Amino acid sequence: MLEIRDLHVTVEDREVLHDINLTIGDGETHVLMGPNGSGKSTLLMTIMGFGGYKVTKGSILFKGTDITAMPIHERAGLGIGMLFQRPPAIAGLKLGKLLTATSELGDDAIEALAESVNMENFLTRDINVGFSGGEIKRSEVLQLKVQQPKFIMLDEPESGVDLENMVLMGGEVAHLLEKDVHIVNRQRSGLIITHTGYILDYVDADQGHVMIDGQIRCHGNPREILKVVKEKGYKECLACKQI
């Protein structure tokens, strides 16, 4: 589904990502961990194609197509979607209008999807304006449910979410990533950034990666990585022999 080769990315004239290589197969869910400021969100923003993230070397292939220079709306059109860590508030644009504009679903279908994540009363509100942390995350999940991307990136889906909403969010993410479908029949893949690992209770994560100082320094079973990091800290990942 996704292949990143020798990727180097500069933000504001500083190289933030160096020599990133990552392959995510069809139906696979990968988890990205790493200390604050190590470059995890930068990688997701670069894959999505946001301006300000300049690829100075390397390439990103999605389903065999080189998307390295492709504009963001074309990447979204190919089926790449993202739940943001801190999505912007957009005064003047109603959530319901955005959902109608970005899908072919009718009002009733959108209303039903909104109800499924307790967001039916938010469709007439400006996007994220005055939303609580948990409401922002539910709004993001609703957008993914409407868009149904093939490759789903989630930047810290647990942050700011209470325990009850975590169960709701976890179930929705599991459904989006087709946890209950056998891997050979899955149509979707995912890449999830997590600090706490709570999301691992809900998804079928195949691989974990640790990013440190803009480089992926370790691969492995995500639960094992999390255990090591909890016990010994990220410095242990620098000694990883998996890479």
Ligand X SMILES: Nc1ncnc2c1ncn2[C@@H]1O[C@H](COP(=O)(O)OP(=O)(O)OP(=O)(O)O)[C@@H](O)[C@H]1O
Site of interaction with ligand X (CB under 6 A)? 11-12, 16, 34, 36-42, 52, 85
Q: How many CB atoms lie within 10 A of CB 124?
A: 10
Q: How many CB atoms lie within 10 A of CB 243?
A: 13
Smallest distance from ligand X to CB 8, Å: 13
Pick the closer one to ligand X by CB: 38 or 207: 38
Smallest distance from ligand X to CB 82, Å: 13
The DSSP letter of residue 84 is -
Smallest distance from ligand X to CB 199, Å: 14
Smallest distance from ligand X to CB 3, Å: 21
| Residue of 101, 55, 57, 63 whose CA lies nearest to 80 | 63
Residue in the structure block whose two tokens are 């990552």: 22
Pick the closer one to ligand X by CB: 50 or 201: 50
- Rounded CA-CA distance 208/44 in Å is 15
Pick the closer one to ligand X by CB: 19 or 107: 19
CA distances from 224 to 33, 181, 188, 218, 227 (A): 12, 24, 24, 12, 5
Pick the closer one to ligand X by CB: 32 or 80: 32
